């Protein structure tokens, strides 16, 4: 993909077939956790109750959710990725309420909506609690995915505190995941969709 002169080149992950399956599983579980949390929030709102806090949602959706027969497979991926997905939901609600009250500048922000497998973008975030690691050889070790080969576009200014994998869909296909370390001042763009696609 063409880069403008003022853009920082983006690191790209080169996942194997088995790693793409592991990443796809994590993307799917994070999406389910987000949707389960949103459903609980909407149900509480309909009852006239206060929307649960992020901590309460995390317990209901992740900790307790994995114990349910219909959600036991959530335990197959990193709990951190699920918790961060719920945290994103909490932030989405906070932004919506702040926008509605007029305490947040910019365009009006609608309430969160359900995520779909057909959405053009997926993202999962791993914090230090997930024990991700950049190996001496430059590979990125992620829970449930293993050591991923990464084409780092630039030297990281410091050890990242979190890693976000971003997957986008182009023309109905899925591109490989792009790692986004935090911090460095960069954003991730996917490589061309024709290169090793990730399955849903």
pLDDT in tens, 73-98: 999 999 999 999 999 999 999 999 89
Among the residue ranges 67-71, 148-152, 164-168, 179-183, the one predicted with the least confidence is 179-183
Whether the pLDDT of residue 114 is over 60: the answer is yes
Per-residue pLDDT, 81: 96
Of the listed ranges 8-12, 16-20, 180-184, the least confidently predicted one is 180-184
Residues facing 13 on adjacent strands: 150
């Amino acid at each position: 993909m063409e880069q403008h002169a003022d853009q920082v080149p983006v690191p790209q992950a080169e996942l194997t077939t088995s790693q793409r399956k592991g990443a796809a599983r994590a993307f799917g579980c994070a999406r389910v956790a987000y949707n389960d949390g949103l459903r609980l929030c909407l149900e509480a709102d309909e009852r006239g109750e206060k929307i649960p806090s992020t901590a309460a949602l995390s317990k209901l959706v992740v900790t307790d959710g994995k114990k349910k027969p219909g959600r036991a497979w959530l335990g197959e991926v990193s709990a951190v990725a699920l918790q961060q997905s719920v945290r994103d939901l909490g932030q989405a609600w906070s932004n919506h309420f702040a926008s509605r009250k007029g305490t947040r500048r910019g365009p009006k922000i609608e309430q969160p909506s359900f995520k779909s497998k057909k959405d053009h973008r997926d993202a999962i975030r791993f914090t230090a609690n997930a024990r991700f690691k950049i190996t001496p050889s430059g590979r990125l070790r992620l829970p449930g995915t293993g050591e991923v080969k990464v084409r780092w576009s630039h030297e990281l200014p410091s050890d990242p505190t979190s890693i976000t994998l971003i997957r986008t869909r182009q023309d109905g296909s899925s591109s490989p995941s792009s790692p986004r370390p935090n911090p460095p001042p960069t954003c991730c763009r996917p490589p061309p969709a024709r290169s090793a696609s990730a399955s849903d």
